[in-house]
Structure 1
């Protein structure tokens, strides 16, 4: 009876882990950003700041994930982040492949060494995400084959894969935070834009739903992995 209850919760947590991980992997909303250019002018000895969005020009909004980096134009409003909802985005948005594309570095704005380092960093992040998704899918199939209490080896293997998936995705989530918050790539991008394109350039960045799904999936993945390992150990003890 206790094993059946434990198996139910382990399966439930494993299913939730797979859902959140696949949502995080398949949706391109890890990072949401908006770019605005404010021009500075002088009138009668006073400093006047003109927002180009108020003048009728559009700002640039973009969101990025594992597969795609999409951008579209729009006016800056108080609830500008609502523009990223599926129903609010225009059909004219432009999307490019984001795999190994380092946000927000480019060959035009940075030297070859910095750009190559960004490619390598993004490459490791992509590999960790792929390994985490692959491990949770394989773990789910193995657990299905193990039911009901057919083999303790399958339960241990499935639990181990869930734990591996959780650790890889946890590392990917931490790498993404380090990429945005700690490393100076965003600051370098803003400095370049101010120096070459717009002195009043502003960049607003927030984490999207895809990023939020990742730690939730990691939590359920680690929890279900531990439960499956305990179930496998209990089945092995009963078989002796």
Structure 2
């Protein structure tokens, strides 16, 4: 009875971990940013406010223009459901810095491409690992094989470690490699009222949740495999 309970909850947590990983992997809201430019234009020195929204993920980096009312009153809904039809997107690997490209610094630019590629490879390995883990568990269920349960549990834990590394690398990426301070200084030369704000999106938040479920599922399946090995009957 206890063994069946362990298998049930291990499978439930594993399925939730896979779901959270795939949603985090497949959506483009790891990072959200807002650029606000209050610039003086024309002979009458009139002030024009322009707001640009950015969001990026593993596959795409997108940006689109908004207005003051959208920025102040319906920010969260506007990010996901009420976006501009003139939204622009490009492949994320073509824009290696988070949100903003620095093509004038070629050394930093190419270093960022390598860093981004390394981060992307680890994420892909994490997704493949968690899918392989589920395959081992599915194969283990009909035969009650302690080897397959242990292998599946080990792969779930490995996937959790890989995605932990992905999250850590992404935080380092945003905090260290995106030179937003200099970017804002450069923009203020032409637009003194320019400001930029950056925050993590819901795709980023889902990754640690998936890590928890994957690690817990892996430990349960290792325990199930050990129990079957010690008590085969």
Scaled by the length of structure 2, what TM-score is found?
0.89
State the Cα distance separating 1:90 from its structure 2 match.
2.4
Query: How many residues get paired?
Result: 226
**Which residue number corresponds to residue 74 of structure 1?**
66
What is the root-mean-square deviation in Å for CA atoms of aligned residues? Answer: 2.1
Structure 1: state its 5+ residue gaps.
42-47
Q: Which residue of 1 aligns with 2:127?
A: 133
CA drift of 1:106 comes to: 2.4
Distance 2:169 2:33 in 1: 18
- Distance in structure 2 (CA, Å) of the matches to 1:72 and 1:49: 23
Unpaired runs of 5+ residues, structure 2, are none
* Dislocated runs of 4+, deviation >3 Å: none
| Deviation by residue 1:5-43 (Cα, 9 ceiling, x = unmatched) | 0111101100100010000000100011111112369xx
* 2:56 counterpart of 1:61: no
Q: Secondary structure at the match of 1:200?
A: coil
Map of 1:96 onto structure 2: 90
The structure with more helix, counted as a fraction of residues? 2
TM-score by length of 1: 0.87
- Select between 200-209 and 66-75 the one with higher mean Cα deviation: 200-209
| Secondary structure class of the residue paired with 1:199 | coil
Q: What does 1:1-240 align with in structure 2 at a 5 Å threshold? A: 1-39=1-39, 50=47, 52-53=48-49, 58-76=50-68, 77-78=71-72, 79-85=74-80, 87-99=81-93, 101-102=95-96, 103-108=98-103, 110-148=104-142, 150-183=144-177, 185-195=179-189, 197-239=190-232
CA contact (8 A) 2:112 2:177 kept: no
